[in-house]
Amino acid sequence: MECQLEFQEFQARIPEKAAIPRRRFSVFGCLRTLVISAVLVSVTWFALHQLFGTTDPEAMWTELKRMVRVIF
């Protein structure tokens, strides 16, 4: 019987937790995500440029495939 009372109390608390409103759309959050993404893309592009010595994506891909073949 004690278990049943605990379970009923638990069930009574569930709707309270489910009623918490979701966070709304945030322009600041969207801009922050955009800036972080741009920085990550820039850092990645710079690292690839330093590694391969070119900004041409096809040349980078060719060099990357060559490096993988050497490793394996």
Query: What is the predicted pLDDT for the residue at 51?
Result: 86
Which pTM was predicted? 0.54
Give the largest Cα separation in the chain, rounded: 74
Which pLDDT score is estimated for 15?
67
How many CB atoms are closer than 10 A to CB 54? 13
Q: What is the pLDDT along the chain (72 residues), one digit of tens a residue?
A: 778 888 888 877 776 655 667 778 889 999 999 999 999 999 998 998 898 888 888 988 898 899 899 998
- Return the number of other C-beta atoms located less than 10 Å from residue 34's C-beta: 10
Taking the CA of residue 63 as centre, how many other CA atoms within 13 Å lie in the half-sphere pointing to its CB? 13
First CA to last CA distance, the chain: 66
